[in-house]
């Protein structure tokens, strides 16, 4: 069951995510933006600052479920599917949609995290984690996002820093 006191810390430089709960801390290797940190719309950078989870998407979906426009596409990711659609940015399994809390930094106008569709989500198992490589989102392994998804709720605080 999600813990209301849980919070998430993400370190862009170290490519790590920590789930901080009253009874302990769990660490996960992630991949943030290949373009580094930044908040501007169209930058494909990972936004810094204070955020919250605005929406949790994908509860009960199978591991490797493919999402397009935040909806299951009906596909299950495989390397063969990846070869068929090499242009896709694979968003898999679960989505934690982030919303900025700091007007002018990561909320509203040209820096709005939610309108930039910044998520914490799963990626293909062949994607490298521990190095920057996303289009702005925070990518995790399937089992890690499933675990995180079950431990957090909407409005869980997320801090992203370098």
Tens-digit pLDDT profile for residues 94-132: 999 999 999 999 999 999 999 999 999 999 999 999 999
Whole-number pLDDT of residue 4: 62
| E strand spans, the chain | 7-11, 16-21, 24-29, 49-57, 65-68, 71-76, 92-100, 119-122, 138-140, 157-161
Tens-digit pLDDT profile for residues 40-84: 999 999 999 999 999 999 999 999 999 999 999 999 999 999 999
User: Could you give the CA distance from residue 51 to residue 42 in angstroms, rounded to a whole number?
Assistant: 19
Fold annotation for 7-161: L,D-transpeptidase catalytic domain-like (2.40.440)
Q: Where are the domains of the chain?
A: 7-161
Q: DSSP code of 97?
A: E
User: Could you give the CA distance from residue 142 to residue 26 in angstroms, rounded to a whole number?
Assistant: 16
pLDDT band at 138 (very low <50, low <70, confident <90, very high): very high
Whole-number pLDDT of residue 87: 93
Position 2 pLDDT exceeds 90: no
Whether the CB-CB separation of 54 and 99 falls below 8 Å is answered with yes
Dihedral-angle region of residue 34 (phi above 0 means left; psi in -120 to 50 means alpha; beta otherwise):
alpha
Q: Report the predicted TM-score, pTM, of the whole model to 2 decimal places.
A: 0.96
Q: Which of these, 148, 149, 131, 124, lies nearest to 57 by C-alpha position?
A: 149
Alpha helices in 58-123 (DSSP H): 79-84
């Amino acid at each position: 069951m999600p813990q209301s006191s849980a919070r998430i810390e993400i370190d862009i430089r170290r490519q790590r995510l920590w789930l901080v709960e009253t009874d302990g801390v769990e660490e996960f290797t992630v991949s943030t933006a290949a373009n580094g940190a930044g908040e501007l719309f169209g930058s494909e950078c990972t936004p810094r600052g204070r955020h919250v989870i605005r929406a949790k998407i994908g509860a009960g979906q199978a591991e490797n479920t493919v999402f397009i426009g935040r909806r299951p596409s009906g596909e299950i990711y495989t390397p063969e599917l990846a070869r068929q659609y090499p242009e896709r940015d694979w968003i898999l399994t679960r989505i934690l949609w982030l919303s900025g809390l700091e007007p002018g930094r990561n909320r509203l106008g040209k820096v709005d995290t939610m309108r930039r569709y910044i998520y914490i989500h799963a990626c293909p198992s062949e994607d490298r984690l521990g190095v920057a490589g996303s289009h702005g989102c925070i990518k995790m392994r399937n089992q890690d996002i499933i675990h995180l998804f079950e431990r957090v709720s909407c409005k869980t605080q997320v801090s992203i820093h370098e």
